[in-house]
Amino acid sequence: MVKKTVSRCYLTVIFLFLYLPILVLIVLSFNDSKSRVLWGGFTLKWYFSCFRDETIMSALTMTLKITVASAVLSTLIGTLAAIGISAMKKNHRAVMLGATNIPLLNADIVTGISLMLLFVRFTNLGFVTVLIAHITFNIPYVILNVLPKINQANRYTYEAALDLGASPLYAFYKITWPEIKSGVFSGFLMAVTMSLDDFSITFFTKGAGVNTLSTMLYTELRKGIRPELYALSTLLFLLAFSLLLVMNYQSDRELRHHPTVIRRSK
């Protein structure tokens, strides 16, 4: 009984440690005063000025553009690559997977710098370079989500469909796609979260005019904290909450009680 109480207390303490900072941000976003400690009444004005703020809104649009474009492209390239890799001989496959591990294992700062060193030799830094960088670190996550699905799938059904006269595209759509669909979907979602959260790699590969939310926040935080950022935090927390609910629901249907583990480095 005592053990149970101690356990529950411990859970509560860690829970508070994790959520208190977020709670403070949410409360302050409704605070009608610039003070960080005094409550000046309820207001929504920070939300309105947040939506009217040029810096915040352009960073938000840029983030969405890069996230969607890089997630879609990396899912496409990564899924095709996973299908190709699964058909390779053992040692070719090992080489491909080894190369795939490089961006996963390398520190973000080193990946970012090495891409920047390459880009500046050929072109100016800007939207395209950030996009290429994001696709580069997203593809491995897609491959690692799709490859197990392909390996689980029965490879002979696809062959059989071809032998019975189905076109490769039709056979893919009817046979392979249903088996790898969930892997492709979770790879896509993971690419989205990686892109949304990345700072270091974007920081080194962006040009002067391009800012995503993370790099914009970095610049803002070095200047000071504006109340509009509280409102932005609250909105983004709600977004993360709903995104993860969807992901959790998705993985719950496949594998109960084993939320996806992912590695991210800062």
Partner 1 sequence: MRRLMRQLLAGPYIVWIIGFILLPVAVILYYAFTSDTGGFTLENIAAIADPVHVKSIVLSLKLGFSCTLVCLLLAYPLAMILSSFKFRHQSFVVFLFILPMWMNFMLRILSWRLLLSNNGLINTFLERAGIGHVKMLNTPASVVFGMVYDFLPFMILPIYNSMARIKDDIIEAAKDLGASHLTILVKIIVPLTLSGIISGIIMVFVPTLTSFVISDLLGGGKVLLIGNVIEQEFMQGTNWNLGSGLSVVLMIFVIASMALMNIFDKDGGAAVW
Q: What's the 3-state SS for the chain?
A: CHHHHHHHHHHHHHHHHHHHHHHHHHHHHCECCCCCCCCCCECCHHHHHHHHCHHHHHHHHHHHHHHHHHHHHHHHHHHHHHHHHHCCCHHHHHHHHHHHHHHHHCCHHHHHHHHHHHHHHHCCCCHHHHHHHHHHHHHHHHHHHHHHHHHHCCHHHHHHHHHCCCCHHHHHHHHHHHHHHHHHHHHHHHHHHHHHHCCHHHHHHCCCCCCCHHHHHHHHHHHCCCCHHHHHHHHHHHHHHHHHHHHHHHHHHHCCCCCCCCCCCC
Is 244 among the residues that bind partner 1 (CB under 8 A)? yes
- Residue closer to partner 1, measured from CB, 182 or 214: 214
Is 17 among the residues that bind partner 1 (CB under 8 A)? yes
Is 11 among the residues that bind partner 1 (CB under 8 A)? yes
Is 10 among the residues that bind partner 1 (CB under 8 A)? yes
Q: How far is the CB of 6 from partner 1 (least distance, A)?
A: 9
Is 81 among the residues that bind partner 1 (CB under 8 A)? yes
Q: How far is the CB of 125 from partner 1 (least distance, A)?
A: 12
- Residue closer to partner 1, measured from CB, 90 or 256: 256
Is 22 among the residues that bind partner 1 (CB under 8 A)? yes
Residues 93-152 that bind partner 1 (CB under 8 A): 96, 99-100, 102-111, 113-118, 121, 132-133, 135-136, 139, 143-144
Residues 61/73, Cβ–Cβ less than 8 Å: no
Is 64 among the residues that bind partner 1 (CB under 8 A)? no
Is 204 among the residues that bind partner 1 (CB under 8 A)? yes
Q: How far is the CB of 108 from partner 1 (least distance, A)?
A: 7
Site string for partner 1, 214-243 (x = CB under 8 A): x--xx--xx--x---x--xx--xx--xx-x
Is 25 among the residues that bind partner 1 (CB under 8 A)? yes
Among 43, 49, 58, 86, binds partner 1 (CB under 8 A): 86
